[in-house]
Amino acid sequence: MRKLSEITRRRFGQGLGAAIALTGEANLAFAHGGSHEVAVRIDDFTFVPPTAEILVGDNVTWENGDHAPHTATSLDGTWDTGPLERAAFRRVTFNEPGEYRYVCTFHPHMKGTVLVRNRDG
Ligand SMILES: [Cu+2]
């Protein structure tokens, strides 16, 4: 029997490495230490997990596992991945605490939340 979960994890790990390599600010964030990356996959028109909990200064990376293009677009207009084609990924760094609800602009029934907490509390 194939171990699908392991295959998925390895595939995503490779994508994450490429994202970090392509983004200059990632190096800066990691140099300061304590910055973490949380992955949200888009599969079958669903953000997984639907709520990503991080601390201020952390990053969230969205990767599209669907054939259809998707976005992750904040309802308050502060950030937007833009359209992600299949297997594309984009990272967003969150420097302000808050609860950021977002949708896919192509499929507004797709909803997710990024919960950003202060490091002190
Ligand atoms: Cu979509």
pLDDT for 89-114, tens place per residue? 999 999 999 999 999 999 999 999 99
Give me the pLDDT at residue 33, please: 58
Report the CATH number that the domain containing residue 72 is assigned in CATH.
2.60.40.420
Ligand 1 centroid – CA 88 distance (Å) = 13
pLDDT tens by residue, 14-48: 444 434 434 434 444 444 557 899 999 999 999 99
Ligand 1 centroid – CA 59 distance (Å) = 21
Ligand 1 centroid – CA 20 distance (Å) = 24
Q: Tell me how many domains the chain contains.
A: 1
Ion ligand 1 — residues with CB < 5 Å: 70, 104, 106-107
What CA–CA distances, in Å, run from 4 to 16, 65, 107?
Answer: 18, 14, 27
Domain enclosing residue 40, as ranges = 4-117
| pLDDT > 90? residue 4 | no
What CA–CA distances, in Å, run from 49 to 22, 25, 52, 64, 80?
Answer: 24, 25, 6, 13, 18
* Of 105 and 13, the one with more pLDDT: 105
pTM, two decimal places: 0.72
Ligand 1 centroid – CA 44 distance (Å) = 9
Q: From the centroid of its chain, how far is CA 67?
A: 18
pLDDT tens by residue, 34-89: 789 999 999 999 999 999 999 999 999 999 999 999 999 999 999 999 999 999 99
Residue 14 and residue 83: Cα distance in Å, rounded?
20
Kind and range of the H or E element at 61? strand 59-64
Ligand 1 centroid – CA 69 distance (Å) = 6
